[in-house]
Amino acid sequence: MTHSISYIGLGSNMGNRIDYLQKACEQMNQLPNVNIITCSSIYETAPYGPVKQADFLNMVAKIETSLSAVGLLHQLQQIELSLDRKREVHWGPRTIDLDILLYNQENIEMEDLIVPHPEMSKRLFVLVPLLDLNPNLTIPKIDRNVSELYNERKEDEGVRLWKRNNGEGEFGLFEN
Q: Catalytic residue positions? A: 85, 94, 97, 99
Query: What is the rounded CA–CA span in Å between residue 160 and residue 69?
Result: 30
Q: How far is CA 144 from CA 63, 107, 136, in A?
A: 21, 14, 9
Cβ distance 100 to 73 under 8 Å? yes
H or E stretch covering 35: strand 34-39
